[in-house]
């Protein structure tokens, strides 16, 4: 039964981590981190992401323009780019590392300690990737709320609101954290594999020879 629970935990952990990594990649490149609320013009909608700003018009469709300079971006968007790249890289590395430590792979069956270490390292990488995804979306969301309720800005000025990418980023971070926890739990519940018959016979023969040598001396 313990083997079944461990296998289910490994499958669920790697699946959730893979889903979280895919969502974090989408979050990085989607231009819907912020939506501009235009009450006076319902035919036009502005969105902003980490890489470009887009305007959606009913007659023309979507038109996007990439940001010309990295330094011209607000501080939260500049740091969010770096953190999202870090999250994507750590998530990919976690998939490669933890995938090598799964019990379903026949390679390295006799090296349980190594596979356990790979699972633990993969879980830690997924934790780091999840935190790196949660930090930028939460920071941008906090800044958006502060600017939305800024009393110094006249009420007629349009306000930025939450975009769909922020919610994807929250889901991505959550899935990466849960996936990392499941993989670490599965790794910590792994016990050392019992020695095979050939290994036991060899160890017995070695100990017998060792005792005979001591008696001869």
Whole-number Å distance between alpha carbons of 27 and 16 = 16
Task: Report all structural domains of the chain as residue ranges with CATH numbers, in order of start.
Answer: 1-33+74-190 (1.20.140.150)
pLDDT in tens, the chain (217 residues): 667 888 888 999 999 999 999 999 999 999 999 988 666 556 678 899 999 989 887 777 888 889 888 887 888 889 999 999 999 999 999 999 998 888 777 665 667 788 888 999 999 999 999 999 999 999 999 999 998 888 888 877 788 889 999 999 999 999 999 999 999 998 887 654 444 444 445 455 655 665 666 565 5
Tell me phi and psi for residue 39, to 5 degrees: -70, -30
Q: How far is CA 175 from the centre of its chain?
A: 7
Prediction pTM value:
0.81
CA atoms in the 13 A half-sphere facing the CB of 109: 6
């Amino acid at each position: 039964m313990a083997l079944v629970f461990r296998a289910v935990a490994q499958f669920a952990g790697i699946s959730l981590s893979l889903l979280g990594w895919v969502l974090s990649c989408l979050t990085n490149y989607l231009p819907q981190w912020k939506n501009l609320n235009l009450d006076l013009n319902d035919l036009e909608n502005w969105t902003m992401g980490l890489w470009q700003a887009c305007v959606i018009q009913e007659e023309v469709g979507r038109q996007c323009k990439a940001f010309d300079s990295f330094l011209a971006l607000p501080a939260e968007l500049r740091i969010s780019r770096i953190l999202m790249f870090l999250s994507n890289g750590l998530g990919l590395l976690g998939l490669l590392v933890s995938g090598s430590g799964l019990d379903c792979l026949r390679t390295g069956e006799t090296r349980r300690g190594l596979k356990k270490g790979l699972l633990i390292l993969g879980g830690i990488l997924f934790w780091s990737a999840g935190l790196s995804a949660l930090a930028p979306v939460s920071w941008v969301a906090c800044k958006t709320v502060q600017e939305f309720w800024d009393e110094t800005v006249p009420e007629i000025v349009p306000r930025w609101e939450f975009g769909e990418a922020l919610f994807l980023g929250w889901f991505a971070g959550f899935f990466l954290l849960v996936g990392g926890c499941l993989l670490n739990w599965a790794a910590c519940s792994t016990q050392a594999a019992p020695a095979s018959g050939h290994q036991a016979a060899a160890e017995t023969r070695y100990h017998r020879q060792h005792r005979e040598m001591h008696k001869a001396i």
